[in-house]
Amino acid sequence: MLLALSLGSCYYDNKEDMYGTSGPCDTSNVSYTTHIKPLMDQQCVGCHGATAPSAGISLHDYASVLASVNSGRFIGSVRWDVGYSPMPKGGSKWTPCQIQQLLTWYHNGMPQ
């Protein structure tokens, strides 16, 4: 009995940590302007802006994001796939919802 209580008291997972607090992920009508640009501005443009972009990769506008996504390395880096440089450097991985929105946008032809 004492063992069961001691093991139970070491369990730290809670609903918010496991599932988040934002609710369901909206992947309907994902567009660059509505979904992707805000992500780029929040997660990428600090290092990959128009002026002196890191590694020469600019993500400041629609055309530059299209070029980067079409290069084949962007999605792997955002998902932190093995063999890709995880982005954002030194930052937190995108949430599963943000990654799903990016993938939905990509698979739907990257609408502006």
Longest CA pairwise span in the chain (Å)? 63
pLDDT of 20: 52
Per-residue model confidence as pLDDT tens digits over 61-74: 999 999 999 988 99
Which tokens hold the place of 110? 């990257």
DSSP state letter for 82:
T
Per-residue model confidence as pLDDT tens digits over 38-97: 999 999 999 999 999 999 999 999 999 999 999 889 999 999 999 999 999 999 999 999
* Alpha helices for the chain (secondary structure H): 2-8, 15-19, 37-43, 62-70, 74-79, 96-107
Question: What pLDDT band is residue 23 in, cutting at 50, 70 and 90?
Answer: confident
**What DSSP letter does each residue of 38-64 carry, written as one string?**
HHHHHHTTTTSSSSS-GGG---SSHHH
The answer, as to whether pTM is greater than 0.85, is no
